[in-house]
Amino acid sequence: MRPPLIHKDLTALALPPNAALGWDEARRMLDGLPGGGLNIAWEAVERHARGALADRVAIRWHPVAGNVRPITYRELSEASSRFANVLRSLGVAKGDAVFVLCGRIPDLYFAVLGGLKLGAAVSPLFSAFGPEPIATRVNMGRGKVLVTTEALYQRKIAKIAVPMPTLEHVLRVDTPEFRATLAAASPQCEVERTGPEDTSFLHFTSGTTGMPKGAVHVHGAVVMHYATGRVALDLHPEDVFWCTADPGWVTGTSYGIVTPLVHGVTSIVDEADFDAVRWYRILEEERVSVWYTAPTAIRMLMKAGAELAKRHSLPSLRFVASVGEPLNPEAVWWGMDALGMPIHDNWWQTETGGIMIANTPALDVKPGSMGKPLPGVEAAIVHRGEAGLEVVAANDTEGELALRAGWPSMFRGYLDQEERYRKCFADGWYFTGDLAKRDADGYFWFVGRADDVIKSAGHLIGPFEVESALMEHPAVAEAGVIGKPDPVVGEIVKAFVSLRSGFQPGEELKMEILGHARKRLGAAVAPKEIEFSASLPRTRSGKIMRRLLKARELGLPEGDTSTLEESA
Ligand code: ATP
Ligand code: MG
């Protein structure tokens, strides 16, 4: 028997639940620039540094080795202003592109916020990228300045073989010369008069389905970040918030930098990579109250076992959310068992800039569902075909997930792909490329990427449903499901499975898992083949790359692998 799925009881914490918040209201809760305009860095840092929160800790940085470094809003303001002034002295002006490749160190946050103060288009890059992917992105974004560290310069930038014609400066933040330049710069800086439509960030997609795309974002997105921080992440003034994503992905910027700072809460930044023991220690020691992570991390914690979680005392933890991939119901239940609360799945993408659909604290969690559209977000299931666009009225019908265009954090273009951008929109809708369905209560259920859906003997099969059923089996840690071409039925369902610690691959276990899947899904939908694999190929942002599983299965070229995590 499952325990009842309930939110953590907040009465003891005496926290008023956050009410729904429309965008106009969210905009009114922001300051705007003195004299008019909107700038993310002003909302995230300057207004706090000049007000009552100046001495509050904005960021608590956990280095790989050494002591935690607290950074107050005032310090964050001064350090980012120094950065802005140095960039300005190098000729960086509004609209110029600044790339930041630093790893999760304080200078990354200073450089990003400094760039925003100047009105630059800022692009944080994931530090594990190799030389080629870095150059590709800098060139796509017409980077003028690249901010990096000495070590990353030696390991990556120095090895770039292709020209980067727009790049004028490479700054190595930890060299004595650059430290001296920063120290000599003024800690005050006038914030550029940007408006809601001015470019703020360039974000690259995860490359799960193909070559990563560069999405252009604007300062107006901060309205969405404020609103979703309240409604979807339940941020309250005293919260300690930890978003585990790297700022090289949109989640690590929108919710690892902007949202917590805009709310004036304390945000945890961990320089190190995933480590179950370390993570529980940080959650406990820092008294993290709101935690935003990803299914891949949760699956790794599940692999490490609920016992490890229970060895830690997490009385401050109140709300846990997840994004990036479908969250299998098993993971939601694991949250109840290991953390004493469900994990709240939410859905969005690089293009949407912020959370669009979520299991919020105000809703009952439906395990396996990504939740309901947030206030102000209109989502629909649509069919696009020869006959045009049909908005599907019926519930429980699969189709493409579409969003009514016009939310504040909507992307404003794909770098170098104007036509592709245009094709994402029609009749006032934005088409997400994801398949989903809506139930009678208005909850949305993820079916799969449009590209990943399997057509078998006349059925359309979403890989997520199959993967979730496989994960219910106690031996299964992770599953990735693809369609394998078959002369008779079109495609058969093939599953790649990695096992939890303590289980050994073997014929008997395979038959047992197949039997379980057949019982759960029926013979038509259950996998016909299972292959055990020590790990599954994933993107650096943690998503299973089904296109690689498929290419490898069929012996086809792997395509762009710039975002593939190396260990896979
Ligand atoms: P690319 O567009 O380059 O193939 P990507 O789509 O993985 O990569 P992101 O923008 O980082 O790049 O990811 C957004 C996608 O991740 C969504 O379109 C969706 O497919 C998936 N996703 C995110 N959150 C969820 C969720 N809660 N449930 C299901 N899928 C999700
Ligand atoms: Mg995508």
Q: What is the pLDDT of residues 155-180, one digit of tens each?
A: 999 999 999 999 999 999 999 999 99
What distance in angstroms lies between residue 18's CA and the mean position of ligand 1's atoms? 27
pLDDT at 433: 96
Mutate which of 126, 216, 325 for ligand 1 pocket (most atoms within 8 A of beta carbon): 325
Answer yes or no: is pLDDT of 373 > 70: yes
Rounded CA-CA distance 281/287 in Å is 10
Query: Whole-prediction pTM value?
Result: 0.94
pLDDT of residue 17: 61
The answer to whether 296 touches 271, Cβ cutoff 8 Å, is: no
Q: Decide: helix, strand or coil at residue 460.
A: strand
Q: Which domains does the chain possess?
A: 23-438 (3.40.50.12780), 454-554 (3.30.300.30)
Mean pLDDT of 100-106: 98
Question: In the predicted model, is pLDDT for residue 449 greater than 50?
Answer: yes
Q: In ligand 1, which atom is closest to the CA atom of 541?
A: 11
- What is the rounded average pLDDT for all residues in the chain? 94
Check pLDDT > 80 for residue 18: no
The pLDDT value given to residue 568: 40
What's residue 209's pLDDT? 87
Amino acid, single-letter form, for residue 157:
I
* Residue 209 or residue 265, greater confidence: 265
Q: What is the mean pLDDT of residues 50-55?
A: 98
Centre of ligand 1 to C-alpha 324, Å, is 5
Type of residue at 131: P
Q: Are 251 and 259 in contact (CB under 8 A)?
A: no
Ligand 1 midpoint to CA 99 (Å): 23
pLDDT at 542 over 90: no
Q: How far is the CA of 348 from the centre of ligand 2 (A)?
A: 10
Confidence of residue 405 (pLDDT cuts 50, 70, 90): very high
Calculate the CA 262 to chain-centre distance: 18
Nearest CA among 119, 164, 138, 124 for reference residue 416: 138
| Statement: residue 455 has pLDDT above 50 | yes
SS (H, E, C) 221-280: HHHHHHHHHHHCCCCCCCCEEEECCCCCCHHHHHHHHHHHHHCCCEEEEECCCCCHHHHH
Q: What is the mean pLDDT of residues 384-404?
A: 95
Integer-rounded Cα radius of gyration of the chain: 23
What does the pLDDT read at residue 14?
Answer: 60
Given a cut of 90, whether residue 233 has pLDDT beyond it is yes
Mutate to test the pocket of ligand 1, among 209, 296, 325, 349 (most ligand atoms within 8 A of CB): 349
Please list every protein residue whose CB sits less than 6 Å from any atom of ligand 1: 205-210, 212-213, 249, 323-327, 345-347, 349-350, 370, 432, 434, 446, 449, 541, 543
How far is the C-alpha of 526 from the C-alpha of 516, rounded, in Å?
9
All residues at 6 or more sequence positions from 403 whose CB lies less than 8 Å from its CB, including other chains: 352, 356, 377, 378, 379, 380, 429, 430, 432
For the stretch 490-519, pLDDT in tens is: 999 999 999 998 899 999 999 999 999 999
Q: Which atom of ligand 1 is nearest to the CA of 212?
A: 3
Task: Provide the pLDDT for residue 540.
Answer: 87
Pairing of strands 240-243, 266-270: parallel
**More confident: 248 or 541:** 248
- CA-nearest of 203, 222, 544 to 351 is 203
Ligand 1 centre from 114 Cα, in Å?
29
CA of 283 to the centre of ligand 1 (A): 26
Residue 243: pLDDT over 80: yes
Long-range contacts for 419-425 (Cβ within 8 Å, ≥24 apart)? 420/213, 424/351
What's residue 567's pLDDT? 57
Asked if pLDDT for residue 6 goes beyond 80, the answer is no
Give me the sign of the Cα torsion angle 264, 269, 275, 280: negative
The closest residue, in CA terms, to atom 1 on ligand 1 is: 207
For residue 542, what are its two tokens? 């943690």
State the residue for tokens 């060895």.
Answer: 311
The secondary structure of residue 544, as a DSSP letter, is B
Q: How far is CA 349 from CA 125, 200, 217, 482, in A?
A: 17, 17, 12, 22
Q: Is the pLDDT of residue 560 over 50?
A: yes
Q: Which is higher by pLDDT, 112 or 541? A: 112
For residue 462, the CA-to-ligand 1 centroid distance in Å is 15
Contact (Cβ atoms closer than 8 angstroms) between residue 39 and residue 191: yes
pLDDT (mean) for 191-204: 98
What was the pLDDT predicted at 9? 61
Residues with Cβ within 8 Å of 376's Cβ and at least 6 positions away in sequence, in order, are 22, 23, 227, 407
Cα distances from 360 to residues 46, 174, 247, in angstroms, run: 29, 41, 23
pLDDT at position 12: 56
Q: For residues 186 and 520, what is the distance between their CA atoms, to the nearest angstrom? A: 64
Q: Which of 306, 329, 253, 297 is nearest to 99 (CA)?
A: 253
Atom of ligand 1 nearest to the CA of 433: 18
Cβ-contact 517, 557 below 8 angstroms: no
pLDDT of residue 51 exceeding 80: yes
What pLDDT digit, counting tens, does each position of 88-97 carry?
Answer: 999 999 999 9
Q: Please report the atom of ligand 1 found closest to the CA of residue 211.
A: 3
* Residue range 475-491: mean pLDDT, rounded: 94
Sign of the alpha-carbon dihedral angle for 43, 49, 50, 56: positive
